[in-house]
Structure 1
Amino acid sequence: MDFSGFQIAFQAVAPVFVLIGIGLVIRARHLLTDEELKRVNGMVFQIFFFIMLFYSTYTTNIRQTFQPRLIAFALCSLAVIYIVPFLLVPRFEPSDKRRGAMIQAIYRSNFVLLGIPLIANLFGEENIAVTTMMVAVVVPIYNVLGVMTLEIFRGGKVAPLTLMRNVFKNPMIQGAIVGALFLIIGIPVPEIVMKPLRQVTAATSPIALIILGASFHLGSTADHMKQLVTCVVSRLIIIPGVVLSSAALLGFRGVEFATLIGIFASPCAVAGFAMAQQMDSDAELAGNCVVFTTALSCLTLFGWIVLFHTLGVL
């Protein structure tokens, strides 16, 4: 039996969940309070992610990383996995609060936090330019759809200017825009500055994963077990099964295919829980979706990587 697929999958998945495990130890030992975790997470989100996206964009070879076919496929797939639950969830879920939380949990993945380090483990940090390019494409859409969905299901009005303002307030988008401007205009950044930026970029994913583990809080599942199971199965099995199979048939391979794994097979986005809290949705259901999909994704991501490596796609 060829165990190379298992070895590659283990090498990609294990480091991610070891870092989350370190965070769980920090939580178990009460080394950081919830308020301190919130502050550190804010620092990582506001500063570290900005620097990571700036550095990745600024050091990118646009001709090599701009993949219109990959962008088109990702956008079409994202449209389908948003529209289908938007139409189906209200048919069996009577609560508006849960409708918004479920739809967001199903379509929105933790691409940046888990997808990027996963692909870096597969192909190396030097080969994730295509992946970081997709962040600038996918993350704004996640934000727009998230605000729009939760606003609709709490009975509010969707204001286009508010949506755009929320998108451009995202540090990842700001970092990518500033990096692109520096790259296009040709503004030189001296090595004395680039070196610490490179160091912060390398540290961003590990710190974010540790904070994710330390922030885990399991809420009660008694009142929403059916909804939770629906979201977990949709996020980890149905969506990656359909999208990744389609991508393989269309000829996507290597780092492009791995990027699609990062987008469509990653667990629910932590940002979805924060937004559910802020926008009067079912935050407990949203939080449990993050916890359960993240925990179970160590198995499902491993399985998808083994499967598609065996099929010669990865």
Structure 2
Amino acid sequence: MSWEIWHFAFSVTVPNLLMLMLGVLLRRLSLIDDGFCDSATRLIFSLSLPCLLFFSIATYSPSPAGHLTFALYGGLATVVSFLLLEVIASWLVKNPRERGIFVQGGFRANTAIVGLAYCASAYGNQGVAIASLYMAITVILFNVLSVV
């Protein structure tokens, strides 16, 4: 592999990893607590993330509909993963109450936090706009499939 590929990979991954490590450090030093984490989570998921997704799609110059195939593929992959995990869980997990936990842990992605951070680092606003389309479909599927 060429040095440019390694440089790109590290320039995308390392800032996100450092931010994660900073959070762990601040938590261990007791500079942030459960109350802060709960408030920050509510703020991010109720206000910041929806605004980021809306404005990234709204200000994206080319039509985001051109990337709809990617988003639909993500939705299809989510449904297929869910169905496969249901079958696997029926074989591997004997306690019916634990099957849901197994399936949820297997098919729900952490795109909203980790995925968007990587898209922003790697591809800028264009990457966030395209990932937002993917999230619009998969988040709905995550919520619907979580109650099935």
The TM-score by the shorter chain falls in which range?
Answer: 0.7 to 0.9
Report the residue type matching 2:12 in the other structure. Answer: A
Report the residue type matching 2:45 in the other structure. Answer: F
Measure the CA separation in 1 of the matches of 2:2 and 2:61.
36
Q: Kindly indicate whether the alpha-carbon contact (under 8 Å) linking 2:89 and 2:99 is maintained by their aligned counterparts in 1.
A: yes
> In the alignment, which residue of structure 2 is the partner of 1:105?
105
> In the alignment, which residue of structure 2 is the partner of 1:47?
47
> Cα RMSD (Å) of the superposition?
1.9
Matched, 1:120 2:120: yes
> In the alignment, which residue of structure 2 is the partner of 1:36?
36
CA drift at 1:19 = 0.7
> In the alignment, which residue of structure 1 is the partner of 2:14?
14
CA drift at 1:89 = 0.8
Unaligned runs of 5+ in 2: none
Q: Kindly indicate whether the alpha-carbon contact (under 8 Å) linking 1:65 and 1:129 is maintained by their aligned counterparts in 2.
A: no
> In the alignment, which residue of structure 1 is the partner of 2:143?
143
CA drift at 1:47 = 1.4
> In the alignment, which residue of structure 1 is the partner of 2:78?
78
Report the residue type matching 1:82 in the other structure. Answer: F
Measure the CA separation in 1 of the matches of 2:17 and 2:100.
28
CA drift at 1:111 = 0.7
TM alignment of 1:288-299, pairs within 5 A: none
- Greater share of helix residues, 1 or 2? 2
Fraction of identical pairs, as percent: 20
Q: Kindly indicate whether the alpha-carbon contact (under 8 Å) linking 2:57 and 2:64 is maintained by their aligned counterparts in 1.
A: no
CA drift at 1:127 = 4.1
Over alpha carbons, which structure has the higher Rg?
Answer: 1
Measure the CA separation in 2 of the matches of 1:127 and 1:37.
27
Matched, 1:90 2:87: no
CA drift at 1:11 = 1.1
Q: Kindly indicate whether the alpha-carbon contact (under 8 Å) linking 1:66 and 1:130 is maintained by their aligned counterparts in 2.
A: no
Number of aligned positions between the proteins: 148
TM alignment of 1:1-314, pairs within 5 A: 2-61=2-61, 63-148=63-148
Measure the CA separation in 1 of the matches of 2:36 and 2:116.
25
Report the residue type matching 1:123 in the other structure. Answer: Y
Stretches (4+) displaced over 3 A:
none
Report the residue type matching 2:85 in the other structure. Answer: P
TM-score by length of 2: 0.88
Q: Deviations over 1:148-199 (max 9, x none)?
A: 2xxxxxxxxxxxxxxxxxxxxxxxxxxxxxxxxxxxxxxxxxxxxxxxxxxx
CA drift at 1:63 = 2.2
Measure the CA separation in 1 of the matches of 2:124 and 2:47.
23
CA drift at 1:16 = 0.9
CA drift at 1:82 = 0.9
Q: Kindly indicate whether the alpha-carbon contact (under 8 Å) linking 1:82 and 1:103 is maintained by their aligned counterparts in 2.
A: yes
Distance 1:64-1:35 versus aligned 2 partners, 3 A rule: closer
Q: Deviations over 1:264-314 (max 9, x none)?
A: xxxxxxxxxxxxxxxxxxxxxxxxxxxxxxxxxxxxxxxxxxxxxxxxxxx
Distance 1:62-1:140 versus aligned 2 partners, 3 A rule: farther
